[in-house]
Amino acid sequence: MISERQAEVGVSTRFDDFYAERWPHAYRLAALMTHDSEAGADIAQDVFANMSRRWTTIERPDAYLQRALTNASSNWQRNRRTAARKLHLLVVRGDDEVPFDGLADAVARLPFRQRAVVVLRYYADMSEAEIARALDCRPGTVKSLGSRALAALSKEVGQ
Amino acid sequence: MTTLEDQLRTALRSQAHALRVPDRPAPDRDIVTLGRDPGPRWLTAAACFALIVAGVVALGLRGAGDPEPAPPVASVVPDPTVPAPLMNGWVGFVYGDINLVRSGEEARRLEVAGSDTADEACPAWSPDGTRMLFGRLTGSSDIASNDAELVIVPVGADGAIGAPTVITLDGFDVLDGFDPHPCGIWAPDGRWVALGGTGDVWMVDTQTGAIRRLPDLRPSDLEWRPGTDQLAIAGDMGTNRAAPTLSTPVTVYSVSTGELHQLGSVEAAQLTWSPDGSTLAYQGGEDDASDLRLVDADGANERLLIAGTGRANHGIGPVWSPTGDRIAYQRLCCQGAETHEVVLVSVADGTQTVIEPPQTDGPNGPVRWYPYSVTWSPDGTTLLYTAWSKAPGEPGLANGVIAVPADTPTDVVVLTGAIGPVDYYSHRWVPIQMWGRQPGADTVGPLPTVDPSLIDPSLIDPTTSASSTTTSEAAENGQTTLAKGDDVYIYGFGGLSGRTLDIDAQEQDGVVTGEFRVGGVVVAIQCAAARSGNQDHTLGGVVIDNTDGPARLDDVNVEVGDPLALIIREDPTPVGQRVTLYHPSLWYGEQASEHTGSCNELVDSAPRNLDGGFFDNVRSEDNINTD
């Protein structure tokens, strides 16, 4: 008998399959949001580890994954700042940083929530409603964050 | 012409696909955290390539299995007939920001200064129904701080709001992976607020902004005992979200005395107090038995109410009704992994009444509502669900808040069909204060009040400074320095310090007393009620150290006026041992775990500056070893 969750997932019904299919996308999404490839891999690993434990309780894995990645990236960003404040030392992790340039580099300099909106919108092709769900905010806030991000990027690239 | 948006798509995708996707760790479900060590679990390059291909395919299929964005349940018409005699009627919920809704009215946003730029969550009504508390994270840039704050907003019966009070929680953080917001719960006195941090419990005095931190606690539940200043703390959520929630001994903390003691031999992960504060009901964690048990408030007379409440994947554990006669809990039902029903248990005889998932009319037919959490209205007549909705054969619809009359559960009212995603695994203690009580309502009984004799006057006087209060006697005399017999307030939790004092202490009938000198003034100390094992979380006090000194000394810079923590480290406490003063800013996570002991109680009073410069004075004393 097919379970309710299995019916809803559609693409994958086993965690192993879901994990294999979503891993690269999850890694890239987290790396883009954190601007750190190592952090992206760590975050993706942690999120999948958590999902594997709770797999039988998750009915909407894709929505869960998107939100968990966004939350974890946000937490990572916050923790990095906290650590920097505690240590009075900003560690430059040059080897781990995603080698951005030009416009993508400007994206990396955006505040986290603006950057998340840009990455989720223009990389992951998520709708405003989906982004709002991932960021736990109103669709109107997504619109506002997106428009502020585009304004900042326009200025950066001279458009 | 290429638009900026097109350029962004191209740039981000180029960047993403230029990234070398690391092999994923083996999907071993026994590994709680898959780990950052790539070692033996990494797959071959060929497999990696295959996964990249699969990932590209998956990206293309993104959302194929996702539910579509849920439209608000437009067909729901608020029912103005739902009475609210004992409540202000306002239910707080999160939809991007804090919102208020009550039956018969449209939801409205609770907007205060900073709302536009902050992330807000966890609304909780004060016990008297006049103030809304919520947590928020401010700042969104990578450079600016993203500090945590508690916000308290007066709310009138008509929903009009007053000037907010903002309390900054410097250094606040949460366990890895959990909802990052500070989520507080009001004490019955409407003054103190408790919340969980990173391996500690924060106690915030909302009148003075003073903060106490109880270390080595990762609770899954915090419940204030009605009519008292006591907070029951239970459960261990592990070091991160992937860890299972386990039961722990139930610990009770008293704000007025600073005492922390175990409640008999009770172990639990979820708690709920009876409304008269006489009895605690509790359950174990995910990996423990799901029996619902009762125990008297003094830890005696443990007894079974019902065996086997079933399994739940969501929820906040049992919730005692304000009328005292029933306890609500939720359990899995309906062949789903997130589908729960609610059960009401009669406290008198253990009989159970099942409330199936309520049903309303949706856009395309009937819609079922499955609770994330369930709690009670202040008058005890109505259950409040945060819930998700689903129509047969369709993906999940909106999250919402619904009111379900406990005795006529078919008369469900959807208060709102649009709330933010529910993080059903964090801050399980918060939802019980979603529904505001009517100011002055006393039909069910008087509002819980704290016995004045339990509270040191210096803690109640709102004009008292958090850093200069004294004991009651000292306060009456206008003293600002310590005197013999004064109790020492234990403020914060230090990790390391470089100060050691000699002390003469003695133990009698489980109470340790002693004296030490501060700035030429003899200070009495007292420690009572030993605890056992490494579960001891001393609330600060005097360290009476059996060893040659603190385990570690560090080059700590302690400023004049800094709060101090004094810790009892060993038990039985010997006579004539040494005292170590700790500096609270240095007590973090793992360091704290090194400081275990069993004598955890000190009579305390209030924070104080010790004679204007404690360490300056300490240095002047001959009997102090400053190694």
Q: What was the pLDDT predicted at B263?
A: 92
Count residue pairs from A and B with Cβ separation < 8 A.
Answer: 217
Chain B segment 384-423 residues within 8 A of A by beta carbon are: 395-396, 420-421
Q: pLDDT per residue over B173-218, tens digit each? A: 777 667 778 899 999 888 899 998 878 899 998 888 888 888 888 8
The type of residue at B262 is Q
Contact across the interface for A24 and B27, Cβ inside 8 Å: no
Average pLDDT for chain B: 63
Sign of the C-alpha dihedral computed for residues B312, B386, B447 and B221 taken in this order: positive
Contact across the interface for B29 and A32, Cβ inside 8 Å: no
Report ipTM for this prediction.
Answer: 0.77
Q: What was the pLDDT predicted at B356?
A: 94
Q: What was the pLDDT predicted at B327?
A: 96
The type of residue at B444 is V
Interface residue of A4, A6, A79 to substitute, partner B, most B CBs within 10 Å: A4
Contact across the interface for B62 and A124, Cβ inside 8 Å: yes
Contact in structure between B255 and B187 (CB atoms under 8 Å): yes
Of the listed ranges A56-65, B457-466, B498-507, the one predicted with least confidence: B457-466
Contact in structure between B165 and B206 (CB atoms under 8 Å): yes
Chain A segment 127-156 residues within 8 A of B by beta carbon are: 127, 129-130, 132-133, 136-138, 140-141, 150, 153-154
Of the listed ranges A88-97, B263-272, B358-367, the one predicted with least confidence: A88-97
SS3 state of residue B251: strand
Run means of pLDDT, 10 residues per run, chain A, 159 residues: 38 72 87 82 85 78 85 75 35 38 74 86 86 78 83 75
Chain B segment 93-132 residues within 8 A of A by beta carbon are: 94-97, 119, 121
Q: Which residue has the higher pLDDT, B363 or B447?
A: B363
Interface check B366 vs A, CB under 8 A: no
Contact across the interface for B12 and A133, Cβ inside 8 Å: no
Interface residue of A36, A66, A85, A103 to substitute, partner B, most B CBs within 10 Å: A103
User: Would the pLDDT of B504 be above 60?
Assistant: no
Q: Which bin fits B521, alpha (ψ -120 to 50), beta or left (φ > 0)?
A: beta
Interface check B173 vs A, CB under 8 A: yes
Q: What was the pLDDT predicted at B397?
A: 61
Q: H helices of chain A, where?
A: 4-9, 15-34, 37-54, 61-87, 102-108, 112-118, 128-135, 139-157
Contact residues on chain B for A72, CB-CB shorter than 8 A:
177
